């Protein structure tokens, strides 16, 4: 069991990269990049997990209850915000690529260099 | 490079990557055995120190508050960058949304979709506000609440009301709200300096007991400002993308 969450991380990274490499459409490429990035959420939450720990919210459980690490959870939030920002900008570039070259296929875009 | 060559190239590289990842993962302390002392120490101290029962919010808006300023400005910059990248180019003009293929028959948005979307606008907006203003007590906060608040506006668009969406979220207003949200966060931090305290020090009364709506001092206030900033940024980003459909190159 110990290594399974980390195997999931590796699997998500490689699946996303496979999508990027074989992508035929920039929107699809961007979605695949989101998949790659989501592996970091699994990694962060996996690293910070404490066996039997509760969520770090002491609203209905007493302070001092065994809880998972809250710092990596805060980092996961930062991660999500960065992903949203990157996605928004990449989508804007995809819109401009479509306007300028009339295609979103990366293999055809390569021919329009210069 | 042909597609097949590229795939082989990727297969070799991916095998190397997976090998490195697995090697790295075997060096981790193992699932469920997180050794970091920092998080556990915060778990011990946070509720008493900040009167926030949501420790993740306490970290985001207090212990790591300075990082979160940067985080918020990432989103601010992304929204600004988006309007730069998607600015109206030369030879482009904006047209009103008129039907340019009159012979085409478009199925009207079904009443079920319209009613469901419009019915959800109110509850979604309330949920967003609730989340943005309860960072101190529950798994919520400005970032989550802001995104949900923005989706209330997008529901209006989904209901087929693009013009209403544009009227309800004019660019000038969004920009002002975004600036107020981002600036409010920094202003709270600078106010601490004016009182001879460290930047972003929690100088507001912490409330009588942890978990009260009025508890946690600046944490709740910062979360509120982050909430309106995020809501405005996301509405602006979606609006920018939707506006693109109205641009024609002459």
Give the rounded percent of residues in chain B with a pLDDT score beyond 70: 93
What's the domain range around B122? Answer: 110-244
CATH number of the domain at A95, please. 1.10.287.3510
Q: How far is B139 from chain A (nearest CA, A)?
A: 7
* Chain A CB contacts of B69 below 8 Å: none
Mean pLDDT across the stretch B99-118?
Answer: 80
The answer to whether residue B84 sits within a structural domain is no
* Chain B CB contacts of A2 below 8 Å: 30-32
pLDDT reading at B198 higher than 60:
yes
Band (pLDDT 50/70/90 cuts) for residue A7 is very high
Cα separation of B203 and B214, whole Å? 14
Q: How far is B111 from chain A (nearest CA, A)?
A: 30
Cα separation of A101 and A113, whole Å? 10
The answer to whether residue B89 sits within a structural domain is no
pLDDT at residue A91, as a whole number = 92
The answer to whether residue B196 sits within a structural domain is yes
Total beta-carbon pairs less than 8 A apart between chain A and chain B: 155
Residues in contact with B180: Cβ distance below 8 Å, sequence separation at least 6, in sequence order = B225, B228, B229
Would you list the DSSP string of A20-49?
HHT-SSHHHHHHHHHHHHHHHHHHHHHHH-
The answer to whether residue B184 sits within a structural domain is yes
- Global pTM reads 0.86
Q: Which residue of A has its CA nearest to B72?
A: A81
Band (pLDDT 50/70/90 cuts) for residue B10 is very high
Q: How far apart are the first and last CA of chain B?
A: 37
Mean pLDDT across the stretch B71-86?
Answer: 90
Band (pLDDT 50/70/90 cuts) for residue B230 is very high
SS3 of B247, please?
Answer: strand
Among A95, A26, A81, smallest CA distance to B82 is for A95
pLDDT reading at B102 higher than 80:
no
CB atoms within 10 A of CB B141: 30
The answer to whether residue B139 sits within a structural domain is yes
What's the domain range around A79? Answer: 4-112
pLDDT reading at B21 higher than 90:
yes
Mean pLDDT across the stretch B148-158?
Answer: 89
pLDDT reading at B96 higher than 70:
no
Q: Do B77 and A85 touch (CB under 8 A)?
A: yes
* Higher local confidence (pLDDT), B63 or B246: B63
Mean pLDDT across the stretch B197-226?
Answer: 87
pLDDT at residue B97, as a whole number = 61
Beta strand residue intervals within chain B, DSSP E: 92-94, 247-249
Cα separation of B208 and B51, whole Å? 8
pLDDT at residue B31, as a whole number = 87
Q: Do A84 and B78 touch (CB under 8 A)?
A: yes
Mean pLDDT across the stretch A88-113?
Answer: 83
pLDDT at residue B241, as a whole number = 86
Cα B199 to Cα A71, B82, B145, B160, B189: the distances in Å are 20, 30, 25, 46, 5
For residue B78, give the nearest of A13, A57, A85 by CB distance: A85
Q: Do B39 and A3 touch (CB under 8 A)?
A: no
Number of domains in chain B: 1
Cα separation of A44 and A54, whole Å? 16
Q: Do A71 and B59 touch (CB under 8 A)?
A: yes
Q: What is the pLDDT of residues A40-60, one digit of tens each?
A: 999 999 999 998 889 999 888
Band (pLDDT 50/70/90 cuts) for residue B249 is low
Task: Decide: B193 and B199 in contact? Cβ < 8 Å.
Answer: yes
The answer to whether residue B15 sits within a structural domain is no
pLDDT reading at A114 higher than 60:
no
Q: Do A70 and B21 touch (CB under 8 A)?
A: no
pLDDT reading at B227 higher than 90:
yes
Number of domains in chain A: 1
């Amino acid at each position: 069991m110990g290594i399974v969450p980390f195997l999931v991380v590796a699997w998500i990274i490689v699946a996303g990269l496979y999508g990027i490499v074989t992508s035929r459409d920039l929107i699809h490429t961007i979605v695949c990049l989101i998949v790659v990035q989501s592996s970091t959420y699994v990694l962060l939450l996996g690293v910070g997990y404490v066996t039997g720990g509760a969520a770090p919210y002491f609203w209905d459980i007493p302070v001092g209850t065994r809880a998972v690490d809250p710092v990596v959870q805060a980092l996961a939030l930062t991660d999500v915000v960065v992903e949203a920002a990157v996605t928004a900008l990449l989508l804007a570039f995809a819109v401009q690529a479509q306007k300028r070259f009339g295609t979103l296929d990366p293999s055809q875009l390569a021919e329009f260099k210069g | 490079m042909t597609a097949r060559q590229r795939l082989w190239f990727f297969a070799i590289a991916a095998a190397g990557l997976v090998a490195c990842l697995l090697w790295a993962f075997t060096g981790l302390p193992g699932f469920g055995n997180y050794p970091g002392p920092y998080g556990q120490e915060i778990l011990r101290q946070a509720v008493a120190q900040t009167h926030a029962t949501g420790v993740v919010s306490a970290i985001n808006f207090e212990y790591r508050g300075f990082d979160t300023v940067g985080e918020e400005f990432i989103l601010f910059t992304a929204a600004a960058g988006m309007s730069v990248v998607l600015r109206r180019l030369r030879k482009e003009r904006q047209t009103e949304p008129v039907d340019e293929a009159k012979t085409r028959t478009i199925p009207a948005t079904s009443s079920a979709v319209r009613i469901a979307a419009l019915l959800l606008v109110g509850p979604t907006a309330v949920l967003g506000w609730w989340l943005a203003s309860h960072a101190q007590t529950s798994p919520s906060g400005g970032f989550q609440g802001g995104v949900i608040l923005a989706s209330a506006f997008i529901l209006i668009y989904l209901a087929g009301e693009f013009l209403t969406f544009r009227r309800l979220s004019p660019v000038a207003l969004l920009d002002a709200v975004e600036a107020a949200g981002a600036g409010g966060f920094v202003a709270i931090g600078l106010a601490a300096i004016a009182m001879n305290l460290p930047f972003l020090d929690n100088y507001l009364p912490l409330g009588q007991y942890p978990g009260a709506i009025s508890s946690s001092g600046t944490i709740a206030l910062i979360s509120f400002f982050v909430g309106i900033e995020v809501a405005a940024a996301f509405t602006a980003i979606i609006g920018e993308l939707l506006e693109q459909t109205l641009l024609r190159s002459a």
